[in-house]
Amino acid sequence: MSDDPKTLVSTEWLAKHLKDPDLRILDASWYLPDAKRDPKAEYDAAHIPGARFFDIDDISDARSDLPHMAPPVEKFMSRMRAMGVGDGHQVVVYDGAGILSAPRVWWVFRLMGHENVAVLDGGLPKWQAEGRAVEDMPPVVKDRHLTVRFQNQLVRDVTQVSQASKLGDAQIVDARSAPRFRGEAPEPREGLRAGHIPGSRNVPYGTLLNEDNTLKSPEDTRAVFEAAGVDLGAPLITTCGSGITAAVLALALERIGVDAWSLYDGSWAEWGMFPTVPVATGDA
């Protein structure tokens, strides 16, 4: 793979740059409750040297009833300052699954106008499988100011997605599993209807990953989207269960040079709860 400090970097790249003074590494591990994993406890036990823990559920919009919505600008700025992440830094985000939640934090940084941020391909599992160093010590943190330029075009709300679904002026791509998309499997969150946003296509995020949970090559990535009936020339809106794996799709699109995408932050946690928006079932 070719390393790109704005999308995806290899474990080799990170090992080579580990001592760079302006590198900031973030552990953005997050799991659904049924995984029965505690990402903070795992971070405390072993993390890539110098990594800080980015708590996706905490660094979010506390005013919203929806899970881990993008944080308000002021909150993001203050949390990043306290974590010592700021202007002039190259950020690398990883997670403990390989590629699952790290792209969400990549998207949050992009949303805030910070472009020098990449996901670690294969994450902590690949890093550890290669016998690379981990530590259990917290990093030494110095405050650093982070300038935010909010990028409205990278996020969509339920009204905008509803309009896209009706008018067909943007293609909606759902990262959930095929049974959930078709409405055949129950949602992990209680109280949500089953099915998908009318007119959307289904690209389960796992179909974009290799067996070792690294991102597929650009050629294979393009083929996966096209096989699902996604028009890569159209404006795209990615969605999933709660806005986490939708970012895997966004990262994959950015990686293949498709930049007319946005992410539906509320995703199915919002759409599936709203009684006034329609739900489709079955295949796309």
Residues with catalytic roles:
240
| 63 CB-contact burial (10 Å; exposed 0-12 / middle 13-18 / buried 19+) | exposed
**Closest C-alpha to 209, from 259, 175, 244, 235:** 175
CA distance linking residue 110 with residue 108, whole number of Å:
5
For residue 104, the 8-state DSSP code is: H
